[in-house]
A and B are shown apart, each in its own frame.
Chain A
Amino acid sequence: MGIGIDITEVKRIEEISLRHKEFLTRVYTPREIEFCTKKRNKYQHLAARFAAKESVLKALGTGWSGRIGWTDVEVVNDRWGRPEINTYGRVKEIVQERRIKKILVSLSHCRDYAVACAQVITERG
C-alpha cells in the first residue's frame, strides 16, 4: 500500500497552458483535455488532474523517473462522476509488476488551489 498527496496552484496551470501550447498535449490525454476544456472552470479541473498525476506517482514511490510520461496516468470519471485512474506505458508496467489491484484518488479544487490524494492498493492490501 502507498499514499501520495499533491497541491497545485490553479493560476500556474492557467499561465503555463496559455504560454506553452504543448503543455496540454504533453501532460494530459485527449480524454482529459476534452473533459476539462468543456468546463467553465477548466483550469481548476486541469490543476486537479495535474495534482492527481503527481499524487499517483508519489503513491507508487517512483516520481517522474525513468521512462514515465505524464500521460501514463489518466484521470477519468465514472458514471457517477467519481474520479478513476487509468494507467498506460511504463506506469501500467509498474502496476502489473507490483500486482497493484487498484489506485484510488480523491480530488478537490477551489478558485486558487487543487488538491489530490492517491492510494495504491496491492493484492496484499
Chain B
Amino acid sequence: MDEKEITEKVRMCVAQALGMDADEVVPDAMLFDDLGAESLDLLDIVFRLEKAFGIQIPRGGIQSNVLGSEDVKEEDLVKDGVLTPLGIARLLKEMPEINPDRMPEGFRAEDIPTLFTVQTFINLTQKCLAEKEKKGA
C-alpha cells in the first residue's frame, strides 16, 4: 500500500469516526481544535484504523513512542507533569508533524493529544504497517 492510499484510507476512518465529510479531514487539521474531536473519538479512530489496516495500535497509543520508551527514564522527559526540554525535543522528533509554537513554556504531558493532527494518525498507521511487515518477513 503506498503513502497516498494510506493517507486516503486514514482520512476516511477519521471522517467516519467524527461524522464529517472526508474533504474536511485534511492532513494538517488538528483533531481537537479544527475537527472538534473528543477523547472518545480518538479511541473510535484507533479501532477503525486497526480494522481497516489489520494492525494493532499499542496501548498508550501515540504518546507511548514518546514517553513510554525504555531507553530514557520518564522522569527525564516529564517533571511534575510538565515536559522537560528533553521531553519536548523527543516529542518533536517522534511527531515532526506537530507545530512547536503550540507548546508554550510549561506544556503538560497530559495535553499532548491536543497537538494531534490527521497526519499524526497517518504516521502512526505507516509505522504500525511497517512493524507488521517486519514481523511477517
Contacts and interface: CB of A to CB of B under 8 A. Distances in A.
A66 B40 contact: no
A12 B40 contact: yes
Nearest to B48: A20
Interface residues of A, number: 25
Interface in A49-75: 50, 54, 57-58, 61-70
Interface of A: 8-9, 12-13, 16, 19-20, 22-23, 26-27, 50, 54, 57-58, 61-70
Interface size class of B (residues with CB under 8 A): 20 to 34
A68 B109 CA distance: 12
Contact of B108 (A27, A61, A66): A61
Contacts of B109: 61-63, 65-66
Given A23-B47, A54-B39, A61-B81, A66 B110 contact: no
B126 interface: no
B112 interface: yes
Interface stretch (B6-14, B55-63, B129-137): B55-63
B110 A57 contact: yes
A27 B60 CA distance: 12
Contact of A66 (B39, B51, B60): B60
B67 A66 contact: yes
A64 B40 contact: no
Contact of A67 (B38, B44, B59): B59
A65 B68 CA distance: 8
Contacts of A63: 63, 108-113
Contacts of B40: 8-9, 12-13, 16, 50
Contacts of B43: 16, 23, 26-27
Given A54-B39, A57-B110, A64 B44 contact: no
Contacts of B51: 20
Interface string B99-117: 0000000001111110000
B110 A61 contact: yes
Nearest to B81: A61
Given A12-B40, A16-B43, A54-B39, A62 B81 contact: yes
A60 to B, nearest CB: 8
